[in-house]
A = this chain, B = another copy of it.
Amino acid sequence: MFRHTDHLQFDAKPEKPDPVFAHKLQELIGGAYGEMTVTMQYLFQGWNCRMPGKYKDLIMDVATEEIGHVEMLAVMVARLLEGAPATATTKAAMADPVIGAVIGGMDPQQAIVAGGGAMPVDSNGYPWNGKFIVASGNLLADFRANAAAEAQGRLQTARLYNMTDDPGVKHMLKFNLARDTLHQNMWLKAIEELQADGLEPTTVAPNALLDEEYAEHAQTIWHLSDGAAAAEGGWATGPQPDGEHEFTYLMDPEALGDLASAPPPDPKLYATYDGSMGEPKGPALGTETGPLGKIKDKLT
């Protein structure tokens, strides 16, 4: 269960309105790497965490913080939109290039749909959606995704930091940048701790099926693009980070598989077919070895 305080986690007061920046700031709210993403990603990871204790508690701490980041940004957007020429006509925009520049750079839906507020969309008006998050239950895989999300988030924040000179906006973004720095380090540390605790001992997620996969194909980088400098990288020779494999670089790889052919089609599905692959197979569902197969056999 959650509780809310009316105070923002940190300041979100622009010195002046700036509707063009309010448009861009939507990226940090509803973009693929915005605050809604980390909120929902951490919440679902936390709810799905299979172990009570420090990992689950950490995830829920940060998840709960991130809801407040969406809040800060939504309030900032509303303030940046104050006094925007949202209801100016085209004629006014054409007569005044300053209004023209502003109107061309605004998000029309912030006015028409949201009445001068933020929306759960990105800076191109595309809505946030549930496919932006991942919560797989495997903490190594998920924490790596978290560190990656915080990196993209900090990168976008840094770019936006350079697109404004409003001291109030920069004040808030300096806080956001710092939190993204912390959270990157934190998830990287948590990955180390998963390994130290023996929960996910190697760098390969999941730590499983390593004996069943074809080891020889876990060694070779295939040279398939004609720039050959990749053979000079540290990934071309030497031990892999998991300490279990060697890197090799396969300069002239050949395809190992058969021809990429599709089987003869079910005639009732009307694929174009000349018979060259032989007769289509009738529905053959496999060995019916269970009780039902036996009963059916008896009855027929």
Q: How many residues on chain A are close to B (CB under 8 Å)?
A: 229
Evaluate contact between A200 and B272: CB separation under 8 angstroms.
yes
Evaluate contact between A284 and B174: CB separation under 8 angstroms.
no
Seed contacts A11-B256, A19-B90; 18 additional CB < 8 Å A-B pairs: A1-B257, A4-B226, A5-B255, A7-B259, A10-B257, A17-B281, A44-B119, A50-B264, A50-B265, A52-B261, A54-B233, A91-B286, A98-B293, A113-B136, A115-B138, A155-B206, A182-B240, A188-B203
Residue on B with the closest CB to A74?
B47
Evaluate contact between B61 and A16: CB separation under 8 angstroms.
no
Evaluate contact between B241 and A188: CB separation under 8 angstroms.
yes
Q: How far is the CB of A226 from chain B (nearest CB, A)?
A: 5
Interface residue ranges of A162-180 to B (CB < 8 Å): 162-165, 174-175, 177-179
Chain B residues near A127 (CB, 8 Å)?
126, 129-131
Contact flag A292-B290 (CB < 8 Å), given A89-B165, A208-B158: no
Q: How far is the CB of A36 from chain B (nearest CB, A)?
A: 8
16 interchain pairs (CB within 8 A)? A1-B4, A43-B70, A44-B114, A50-B264, A54-B233, A56-B227, A82-B264, A85-B285, A95-B289, A99-B283, A113-B136, A114-B136, A138-B151, A186-B221, A192-B234, A208-B270
Chain B residues near A33 (CB, 8 Å)?
134
Chain B residues near A299 (CB, 8 Å)?
291, 294-295
Q: How far is the CB of A283 from chain B (nearest CB, A)?
A: 4
Which residue among A17, A82, A113, A200 has the maximum number of chain B CB atoms within 10 Å of its CB?
A113
Q: How far is the CB of A62 from chain B (nearest CB, A)?
A: 7
User: Is A38's CB within 8 Å of the partner chain B?
Assistant: no
Contact flag A8-B129 (CB < 8 Å), given A3-B64, A90-B105, A94-B101: no
Top 9 nearest A-B pairs (CB, nearest first) are A104-B104, A95-B290, A124-B125, A100-B101, A115-B137, A8-B257, A120-B130, A127-B130, A137-B271
Contact flag A213-B178 (CB < 8 Å), given A7-B257, A185-B245, A190-B235: yes
Interface residue ranges of A41-77 to B (CB < 8 Å): 43-44, 46-58, 60-65, 67-68, 70-72, 74-75
Interface residue ranges of A205-236 to B (CB < 8 Å): 205-210, 212-235
Contact residue among B130, B139, B259 (Cβ-Cβ distance under 8 Å from A128): B130
Chain B residues near A18 (CB, 8 Å)?
90, 286
Contact residue among B190, B210, B235, B266 (Cβ-Cβ distance under 8 Å from A193): B235
Contact residue among B57, B136, B206 (Cβ-Cβ distance under 8 Å from A225): B57
